[in-house]
Each structure stands twice: as structure tokens, then as C-alpha cells.
Structure 1
Amino acid sequence: MYLPLAFRQTDLPALHREIGNCRLATLVSHGENGLQASHLPLLLRPEEGRYGTLYGHLARANPHWQVLAEGTEALVMFNGPDAYVSPSWYPAKAEHGKVVPTWNYIAVHAYGRAEVFDDAERLRSLLAGLTERHEGPRPQPWAVDDAPQDYIAGMLRAVVGFALPIERLEGKWKLGQNRSEADRRGVHDGLANSTDPRDRDLAQRMNG
């Protein structure tokens, strides 16, 4: 990922929070048949390893897990809020007109080599953790134990798990840090007044 110094994020807790905020990650790796990409929810264990360890699972029928098993480096992308930035929001437009559109966004890239596993007990623990993460806030959360045990056993045989210790972690907070304070405030106000909740989400992040 291209990382100009002004946009580089190196604070580990902030990077971990962004990973936790992303509901669906993109896993990319390269094997003998070329690039493989899968979109999947992941679980971060921040206490494991220098930068944390990511856990997830793939369908056994998905050849991507076999690429991971080869031990080649994988890239996991976590996309945060993003928004189009109109030149009309810059006070500089009225001053000299030398402004163009851009796109502001937050993104985290994690790199590492995965360990693949299909042990039923370990898979069940992983699925329980992922389920609790997304079901926990619900009034009546569903749990793995709610389903018939033989059904869950069959589902576990149909997936392959992986643990990916993060070896390198990159964060990019492209929020107009290279612009003047007046231009940044103009962008913030333009996004904050948008009817699109995604724009307003990014505006809130510019306050942080």
C-alpha cells in the first residue's frame, strides 16, 4: 500500500480497533494458479504475537485454503469508512481554483503466513468466537450450542480454519492531513452535512 508519511498510521491500538470495526475482510494470496481472494469475517487475537493473530475459516471446497497451507505470504485488507471529497468544499477553490476531487478513506493491511487446521475442537472454538462477536449485541443471541450437535459436526467437517500471525501491519488514514486547516474543516463540514451516513461516519473520524 502506498503510504505517504502524512497519512501513515502506526498506533497499534488504533490499527487493532480498525480491524475490529471491519465486519468483512479481504484475504489475498498467490499460488501456482495465480491470485486467490476470499471475503470473510475474521477474529483478531491482539495478545498473540507482536501485532496480533487473525483467525478465520474457509469452505473446504474453496481451494484458497490449500494456497495458505503452502506457507506463502498472505495479505488481509480491512476497509474502513471512505468518501468522495468535492473540490467545492475547499475554501482554496474561491482563492485560486487550484483544487481537484479526491477520495478520503481509512484502510489497514495485515501481512503474514497462515497455519491451516481442521481439528474439530479448535474449529468449534473459532466458530463460537466469531458467532459471539456478531451475535453478542443482539437481544436474543444465537449460539453454536443452539443447533443440533450432529449438524454442527457436519458443518465443521465442511470448513478449514486458519491462524495468521501478523508479521507486518500497515495503516493509512487519508483524511486530508496534507491540506490546510481551513480546507480540512471545509471537507469535514461537507461530509458532516451529507445525507449519506457513510460520509458522516468519515466526518466523525476526522475529529479523532
Structure 2
Amino acid sequence: MRGTLKLYTNPLSRGRIARWMLEEVGQPYDVEVLGYGTTMKSPEYLKINPLGKVPTLVHGEDVITESAAICAYLAEAFPEAKLNPDVHERASYFRWLFFAAGPLDAAVSNASAGFEVAPEDYRRFGYGNYKSAVDTLAYAVSQHDYIAGDRFTAADVYVGMQVGWALEFGTLETRPEFEAYWSRLREREAYVRASALDDASVRGE
């Protein structure tokens, strides 16, 4: 027995990435919605995730935090979903998953907060500058239909949601490469289901 799955989340958070991935693997799971500054910082939850953030996935006795890690973990935990990379996809899978979770996320977050790296400090930041990160993302999503090749994998859940959100909220400039990539993902049944569930949670349903 692999143990039950429980997602701690908030529908206005990156927990949407984890929800989408759970819908992709097709396994039953429980959800507990936490509030910012309240239950997310409660002593009970801090024992599970000391950072006091969401999402957190509990699988039996195992705890997984960080959205990209949750995507990779679920792909490995449930190989029957066929979301792991094959031998020819592994390099691109790990390369772009970690790029999106590290340099890209930092670049977009900093730019959204109005922080711009001075040219003399480019070497101190893993992404160099915002333009370099965005140009690299454009390259990544234009090499194949999906981030690791010609097949959808768990890395597309994370990278795809980053692109989709950035386009929706204007934190990423609109480029044909981004729009084409996101258009291939947003109609997936698992994404549509996950979005409907989170949207209903926002409405208190």
C-alpha cells in the first residue's frame, strides 16, 4: 500500500500546480485549504512545512514541498501515468524543470517586484538579468512541442503553469513561442479539471 495523498494548498497560490499534477496522475487525494497568515502559519502546519507555505504534499508518511519537486515526485511515484521522461528526454526534462524553478522563477519574481539587476552585478545572480532568462525560456519552449520533446511530461506541468500565469498576469512579455506552448497545454483535461476545482474553492463552493 502506497499510502494516501493529501494536498495542503490555497487556490490563490502555486498549489494550483500541484493540483494539476495530481489530476494528471489520476490518483485519489484529499485537500486541505489553508489561509495566508492564519492556518498556513499554525503550529500544526509548521510541523509539516516549517516554511509555512503551500503547496505541501503528504504521501503516507512522506512530505514533499516545492511545486517542481511535487511534480517530479508524483511522476516517479505513479509511473503508470507515463509522465516521467524516457532515456532520450531526461536531459531536457531536468534541465528545463530546474531552470524554471530556479533562475526563471527568480528573474520573473524580482522583475515583478520592480527589482532590476545592475549590469555590474549580472554574475552574482543565477539568471544574469530578466531578458536573458526570458530569451532562454523562449528557446526552451520552441525546440519541441513539449519541454522535453514531443511528449507531455511532468516538467510541462511546472513550466507550462509558469508560462500560463506569466502571460495572464503580464509578468512575462507576450511572444509567439510562449503563446504556442501554452495553447498546447491549457486544453488538457487534467488542467481543466484542476482549474475548475480551484476556481470553485476561490468561490467558497
Q: Which is higher, the Rg of structure 1 or of structure 2?
A: 1
Q: Per the shorter chain, which TM-score range?
A: under 0.3
Q: Which has the higher helix share?
A: 2
Compute the TM-score of the two structures, normalised by the length of structure 2: 0.23
Compute the TM-score of the two structures, normalised by the length of structure 1: 0.22
Query: Greater relative contact order: 1 or 2 (C-alpha under 8 angstroms, separation 6 or more)?
Result: 1
